[in-house]
Amino acid sequence: MDKNLHVVVKTPDDEDVRVNHIAWDEYFMSIAILSSLRSKDTNTKVGAAIITPDHKVASLGYNGMPTGIDDTSIPWARSAEDQLDTKYPYVCHAELNAVLNATKDLHGCTLYVTLFPCNECAKAVIQAGIKKVIYLDDKYHDEFISIASRRLLELAGVAMERYVGRIPNIDFGDVSYVARQG
């Protein structure tokens, strides 16, 4: 790509400045959703964004095989006769990846994640000093891993909040992107 290429986002001139933007929660959950699209998991794509108290992105992650391992060399199956032929012993969850990817201190941060964290990720979240989890989906709510996760997070004083904002439009809605040389 030409290093002088500029991308301009255009919105209508007469739009109200108070409403022509997405809220912080919508912004960060959008980033988590976008991150999930990087996942090669054929069944559950999960994305995570860790945000500082002053609204800066501290880290991102999505579920995938450990670094350096070819995504096709390990199975993505959810069930098999032998558990070693499923994805579970190998895949790194989005939240764990986000914690491990961070280049700055995560104390006091908020985790935005597209699926409620499992108990293993809850441990990483707690140890990193993250103070709030905002999640989109909670499809494993009644399963052992979620029950244990809630217990851990609650005991550690990590707030849990279901995302109630708009689900962002990943086709980026009606804004237009104009690429020009200059």
The structure tokens listed for 40 are 């090669």
Closer of 21 and 40 to Zn ion (Cβ): 40
C-alpha distances out from residue 165 to 86, 105, 162, 176, Å: 34, 27, 9, 23
Q: What is the CA radius of gyration of the chain?
A: 18
Nearer to Zn ion, 24 or 88 (CB): 88
Which of 88, 172 has the CB closer to Zn ion?
88
Q: Is 95 a catalytic residue?
A: yes
Nearest approach, Cβ of residue 102 and Zn ion (Å): 16
As measured in angstroms, the least distance from the Cβ of 159 to Zn ion is 18
Find the shortest distance in angstroms from Cβ 84 to Zn ion.
Answer: 19
In the complex, the residues that contact Zn ion under the rule CB under 5 A are 93, 118, 121
- Residues 121, 89 contacting (CB under 8 angstroms): no
* Alpha carbons 143 and 145: distance in angstroms, whole number: 6
Select which of 15, 26, 95, 161 is catalytic.
Answer: 95
- The continuous run of DSSP H or E covering 70 comes out as none
Q: Report, as residue numbers or ranges, the catalytic residues.
A: 95
